[in-house]
Amino acid sequence: MPCDGVCTASADPETCLDDSQCPSGQVCDVTPGVGIGCTPTIPPGGLDQPCGSHRSCQTGLHCVPATSGTPGYFCKGSAHLGDPCDNLPGTCDEGLACVTNDDRSATTCMTPAALGDSCQAYYQCGGTLLSSIGCDPATHTCVAVPSSGPCVAGRVEGCDPRTAYCDGTQSPAVCLPVVAIGAACPPGTLACGIFTGASCQADATGTAGTCVGSAAILCTP
């Protein structure tokens, strides 16, 4: 339900949304096994020590969930080139990125690669978010993702997300133009685009669909 009046901070120290709702000297943080609440400020943790308030660690360390024993979060050193990583901030040494392998079975610290550089995994090029470049497995080189033609590596991310989508129903998968809102689209695809706020709404048969904009996109003042 929307707030029709004035939203005020909770006076209950057992629940909070941010630090401003906590008494002096306390912060709003997650306590393992308890939940979110106001707790005393804890300095950033050292190596193998529990993470401080807001799960913070000393410089050069990062906070990770415990893998065994007492539940909680502990400070660990950064992983080196080629080491496994966990996609958390600071998980890899400075200058490295935590990259998901192409089969999504693991994540590894790798050197970020730019257009034309050699690469080992798709996301090594341009980062983990949607990018205009990707790693071509045939040449192990970072290439610009196209708006038409074969999808790079046959991946859903293998087309320019600003103008095209990867149609995986074809073999090999090809990049096709993004479909406009109100136009026909194949259900189960990203034909309506990623940045448009639209999705392909299937009809009663489930074999055809129409691109429909989200409420946020269609709403006007």
Per-residue pLDDT tens, the chain, 221 aa: give them: 444 555 444 444 467 889 999 999 999 998 767 788 999 999 999 999 999 998 899 988 888 888 777 778 899 898 999 999 887 777 888 899 999 999 889 999 999 999 999 999 999 998 766 788 999 999 999 999 999 999 999 998 899 988 999 998 888 999 999 999 999 999 988 999 988 889 999 999 988 999 998 654 444 44
Residue 220 included in any domain: yes
Q: Which of 50, 77, 104 is the last residue of a domain?
A: 77
Residue 61 included in any domain: yes
Q: Which residues pair with 57 in a beta bridge?
A: 45
In the chain, the N- to C-terminal Cα span, in Å, equals 20
Number of domains in the chain: 2
Answer yes or no: are the C-beta atoms of 127 and 162 closer than 8 Å.
no
Residue 66 included in any domain: yes
Q: Which of 58, 77, 96 is the last residue of a domain?
A: 77
Residue numbers of the domain that contains 41: 19-77
Q: Which of 62, 77, 92 is the last residue of a domain?
A: 77
Specify the DSSP class assigned to residue 216: H
Residue 165 included in any domain: no
Residue 193 included in any domain: yes
**pLDDT digit string (tens) for 110-169?**
999 999 999 999 999 987 667 889 999 999 999 999 999 999 999 988 999 889 999 988
Answer yes or no: are the C-beta atoms of 140 and 120 closer than 8 Å.
yes
Residue 163 included in any domain: no
Residues 6+ apart with CB under 8 A from 182: 210, 211
Residue 149 included in any domain: no
Q: Using CA atoms, how far apart are residues 142 and 124, in angstroms rounded to an integer?
A: 8
Residue 60 included in any domain: yes
**pTM of the full structure:** 0.63
Signed CA dihedral, 191, 194, 196, 202: sign only: positive
